[in-house]
Amino acid sequence: MSEIHSMKGVLGRSADAVDFVNLEKSAIASLTSIKRLIVEGWIEPLIGIRHSLECGLPARQDRELRIGVFPTAANPLHWAHLLGGLVVMERFRLDKVTS
């Protein structure tokens, strides 16, 4: 949310535009839902995953993790990419979203 508030400062009065306000509401709704999913034990976004053979093995889980892959060049990565990741994390109850 701090990133969105920072964007508001840059945009000035344009931040009051309907599109930006709807984007902010969407971010708040996704973050609130993700928090609920964490508390209820549906997702565990802080769990470590193995990205390559060189990485150590992550801690064993009592269920299969749900991992989403967000294929993007993202150069530069910005808050819209992150918001997209949050939305799919919430909608599909993913533990992690990686690129």
Nearest CA among 90, 91, 57, 76 for reference residue 99: 76
Specify the number of domains making up the chain.
Answer: 1
DSSP code, position 46:
T
Q: What is the mean pLDDT of residues 53-74?
A: 76
Terminal Cα distance for the chain, rounded: 21
Which of residues 27 and 99 earns the better pLDDT score? 27
Is the per-residue pLDDT at 42 higher than 90? Answer: yes
Range of the domain at 23: 2-98
Is the per-residue pLDDT at 90 higher than 90? Answer: yes
